[in-house]
Chains A and B, each alone.
Chain A
């Protein structure tokens, strides 16, 4: 009964996954992300940071941070991605002991899929820090950072 329950549950999950297609986006798509800086609605400044971090002792770890990016999607013409980082920190980090680690940070990028004509990627990084870092002991580490780029920077071997 235990196995039957597990199987049925997995069938539902896998069936759902199979039914999901890559997103189809029409013309004139716009992705805008403003991190930190002056807020028009509040009238003040925000120094908030965006942090994605993980500490692992053993095994395989993947830490991935995507900001204003297009993954595996079909997007029609005139897509625009704008990212502005002001007075804030964007950090993707991992500490790893004995294992393998992939730390991938992608900002205002197109990693896959199909995008129509007139794609516009605008990235502005002001008085802020954008950091992607990993430390590994007794293992393998791949550290990938792409900003305002087309393609997958983290696809190649190793890892």
Chain B
């Protein structure tokens, strides 16, 4: 009886001790001060984010040079240049569902900037592709380039 109680108590304590650190280290949305600057240059190369699922669910999310979430306490400068290259986001599902979300130089709805936001996208000789393919599936494709306040919900 004593040994069983000891075992039970030990396992309970172990469970609590393992849960607490996980909760304590959970990351929150970032806070960034005034004058944030993001500059992305993609030249002569490919940037690919792809997922495929059979009888399952595929959710492909690609964000480049974007404020996804969090707060910027002042000015925010976003600029992306894509030259002679391809930027591709693909989601595909067979007998399931698929969602493909692609954002370039975008301030999403869950992010806030209290100062001026400058947003510049330059595409030269390049392709930006967001594709979702569903066979006997639900499919959703969402592409945001140089936008503020939009998301795919």
Contact = CB atoms under 8 A, between A and B. Distances in A.
Contacts, number: 230
B131 interface: no
Given A110-B30, A132-B49, A149 B67 contact: yes
Contacts of B27: 71-72, 111-113, 152
Interface residues of B, number: 65
A132 to B, nearest CB: 5
Interface of B: 6-7, 10, 13-14, 17-18, 20-21, 24-25, 27-70, 72-74, 80, 85, 89, 91, 108, 110-111
Interface of A: 3-4, 6-7, 10-11, 14, 17-18, 20, 22, 70-72, 77, 85, 103, 105, 110-155, 158-159
25 contacts: A4-B6, A10-B17, A14-B21, A17-B24, A70-B30, A112-B29, A113-B30, A118-B33, A119-B35, A119-B37, A121-B38, A123-B39, A125-B41, A126-B43, A134-B51, A135-B52, A136-B54, A142-B61, A146-B68, A150-B32, A151-B29, A151-B68, A154-B61, A158-B57, A159-B59
